Structure 1
Amino acid sequence: MPTTTPEENRRLVLEAFDTLFNKRDYDAALRFWSERYIQHSAHIPPGRDGLFNLVRALPATLRYENHLILAEGDYVITHGRFSGHGRPAAWIAADILRFENGKFAEHWDVLQDEATRAESVSGLPMFGDSFPA
């Protein structure tokens, strides 16, 4: 049985992402990620330490912006942008998180470089209502 509601889970994900990726407050971020956290991402080392160490290794300009967040039961899906990570294009990400006992227990993601206006075959931006500069 869930220990948090979908509404609480949405709030927790946004607070956790801001705490870890934008504020870089690793001590505060510990309260969101389970010690037994399972990381399914191909580009992130296993566990909570793998994620935190990856963030530590990225430039201090790293920034997460959320565009959409959905929750059902113990699962939350976000659509967001990771920028300032030192690569030419921002990443547009769909992150899927599973909660257990009020903390992130598992994570999956799908990442794609953000397309410019010239690269977008649809003519539409991938994030929000404008193309990257």
Structure 2
Amino acid sequence: MTLSFKTLTGLALAALLVVVAATSHAATPRNLAAEEANRTLVLDFYERFFNKHDVAGAAQLVADNYKQHNPEVPDGKAPFVEFFAGFFKENPQSRARVVRSATDGDLVYLHVHSTNGAKDPGQAVVDIFRVANGKLVEHWDVIQNVPQQAANTNTMF
């Protein structure tokens, strides 16, 4: 099989882009102290907001222009707080246990078991928060119901 000059050039360019991307990411040193401060901030927010339902207190950690990627929750601090204040009023038993957490730059990742009462199997949640200047500024999540019976013996946590 003979490769054309155009194909070889394309492959070489793709390989170069991979090397440049890997090198540029590796060249930026991580600030582990800042990442840990962000992780602590998010964990504090999570405990106060989702477990203690201290909506007003925890909201101090959310930026006014908070950007939300969950399609069921509106953008902005005030609409976010209003949405969950109503949810907590209707669901006073709701709790969220953080199983593990990790950081990468300004992002904080949480793996959470969220329940709505003692008999609720709950949901497995992966929350991703972006932190800037000591405030939560952006959020993504992936949510999966915990089944009554699984097809394997592994837990979701």
User: Fold match, TM over 0.5?
Assistant: yes
Task: Work out the percentage of aligned pairs sharing the same amino acid.
Answer: 29
Mapping of 1:104-119 within 5 angstroms? 104-116=136-148, 118=149
Structure 1 equivalent of residue 152 of structure 2: 122
Q: What CA deviation, in whole Å up to 9, does each residue of 1:49-79 have, x standing for no partner?
A: 2322222222111111000100121100100
TM-score by length of 2: 0.71
Q: Comparing both structures, which one devotes a greater share of its residues to helix?
A: 2
Higher-Rg member (1/2): 2
Of Structure 1 and Structure 2, which has the larger fraction of its residues in strand? 1
TM-score by length of 1: 0.82
Q: Does 1:39 align with 2:45?
A: no
Question: Does the CA-based 8 Å contact 2:59-2:81 persist in structure 1?
Answer: no
Residue by residue over 1:22-51, the C-alpha shift from the partner in whole angstroms, topping out at 9 and shown as x without a partner, is: 111122112211001000101212222232
Q: Show structure 1 runs of 5+ residues with no match.
A: 128-133
Q: 1:98 aligns with which of 103, 125, 130?
A: 130
CA-atom RMSD in angstroms: 2.0
Which residue pairs with 1:83 in the alignment? 115
In the alignment, the residues of structure 2 paired with residue 28 and residue 56 of structure 1 have an alpha-carbon distance, to the nearest angstrom, of: 12
Question: What secondary structure does 1:51 align onto?
Answer: helix
**In 1, are the aligned partners of 2:114 and 2:124 still within 8 Å (CA)?**
yes
Aligned residues: 122
Unaligned 5+ runs, structure 2: 1-30
